[in-house]
Amino acid sequence: RTTTVSVIKADIGSLAGHHRVHPDTILAASRVLAEAKRKGVIKSFYVTNAGDDLQLIMTHFKGVDNPEVHELAWTAFREATKVAKDLGLYAAGQDLLSDAFSGNIRGLGPGVAEMEFVERPSEPIVVFMADKTEPGAFNLPLYKIFADPFNTAGLVIDPRLHDGFIFEVLDVFEGKAVELRAPEEIYDLLALIGTPSRYVVKRVYRKSDREIAAVVSSERLSLIAGRYVGKDDPVMIVRAQSGFPAVGEVLEPFAFPHLVAGWMRGSHHGPLMPVGLKDSKVSRFDGPPRVIALGFQVKNGELIGPADLFDDPAFDEARRQAQMIADYIRRHGPFMPHRLGPEEMEYTTLPEVLKRLKDRFKPVEMGYKPKVKHEAGEAADVD
Ligand code: 13P
Ligand code: 13P
Ligand code: MG
Ligand code: MG
Ligand code: MG
């Protein structure tokens, strides 16, 4: 028998702007899931928040993309939204981009990460949940966890990891995916995933037997809606130990608060700060972007836990560094690279500004005719 872990999340409205989820909406969603557990739709669940995002962590025996489980999540979000509306929470229903559920929650706004596996005798997993950033924020940590021996000692010293891993990379603009193998193809892999706004690591498999190792939610809200509707605050599930990286190897990349896209109005780069549940909220400039990590053991389909893995002085220095980086980069105000580049500002007010100024742009004699084309993806005529 296989067990499925489904992490489905949505921002359905929050307390004090985009600060954090209101406890009453957590209760509303929990009630819906408790009833479904009683009826046997799911085996167990844990509801929590990453900043202003409501997180449903569920286990069941129905496989990924199961209509019943997806509809359950949808119902939980709808019920929580009702409470959010009653309380006048900010941006109530923000990530529910559609009114009609038709069998699958993907494409309707919520973020989805699901994996199905035969449980090992002991099955540790880590669920990462981030706020004020995008799915590609996990590219760098995933590379380190599954392809960098300076991060993951097991790649060198554990024979079960020694063959390496396969990365499934999704092009979110084209809706295409490519599989790249580590270590053989790491330069090609990095060439793609170094552009996290477009190329997102969707899944990682162990190469020796294609066992699933990690999965990331890859929904891009602006690409679904065609306009700015907040960031796509992602989630990720990673399996650990006994043939996978150790929990400590899975957490290690987050000791480096790397720069990610998101933060204020989804339009700024900032450091990703690892925090415990008590700090799963945002303040300064609606950030800085945060990530929490909850560890569980999965046994007979039951979630045992959680362990609040970043609630540890061992990550104090990463948090302090994140503060310093936040101070430094904030001083750029509206300038790149703090503010995102033009391609990523496409779904903000920038196009309107350009449209308004269009007729005020006058030709200038520059003494040469620029050859470089600026259409996305078009190669420039230079090195
Ligand atoms: P323990 O001896 O504490 O179980 O440590 C085992 C281990 O491999 C830690 O990474
Ligand atoms: P969220 O996607 O977390 O709602 O953030 C939206 C925003 O604009 C923060 O400034
Ligand atoms: Mg919000
Ligand atoms: Mg959010
Ligand atoms: Mg969001």
* Integer Cα distance of 225 and 8 in angstroms: 19
* Integer Cα distance of 160 and 79 in angstroms: 45
Ligand 1 and 248: CB distance under 6 A: yes
Are 250 and 126 within 8 A, CB to CB?
yes
- Ligand 2 atom, smallest distance to 18 CA: 4
* Integer Cα distance of 47 and 53 in angstroms: 11
Per-residue pLDDT of the chain (383 residues; tens, 9 = 90+): 999 999 999 999 999 999 999 999 999 999 999 999 999 999 999 999 999 999 999 999 999 999 999 999 999 999 999 999 999 999 999 999 998 898 999 999 999 999 999 999 999 999 999 999 999 999 999 999 999 999 999 999 999 999 999 999 999 999 999 999 999 999 999 999 999 999 999 999 999 999 999 999 998 888 888 887 878 999 999 999 999 999 999 999 999 999 999 999 999 999 999 999 999 999 999 999 999 999 999 999 999 999 999 999 999 999 999 999 999 999 999 999 999 998 888 667 788 888 999 999 999 999 998 877 655 444 445 55
Best mutation site among 286, 330, 340, 344 for ligand 2 pocket (most ligand atoms within 8 Å of CB): 286
Residue of minimum CA distance from atom 10 in ligand 1 = 246
Whether the upstream peptide bond of residue 306 has omega within 30° of 0, thus cis, is yes
Are 111 and 234 within 8 A, CB to CB?
yes
pTM of the complete model: 0.95
Q: What ipTM is given for this predicted complex?
A: 0.92
Active-site residue set: 11, 228, 231
* Integer Cα distance of 234 and 10 in angstroms: 10
Are 258 and 252 within 8 A, CB to CB?
no
Ligand 1 and 246: CB distance under 6 A: yes
Q: What's the token pair of residue 2?
A: 């296989």
Taking only Cα atoms into account, the Rg of the chain, rounded to an integer number of angstroms, comes to: 21
H and E: helices and strands count for the chain = 9, 15
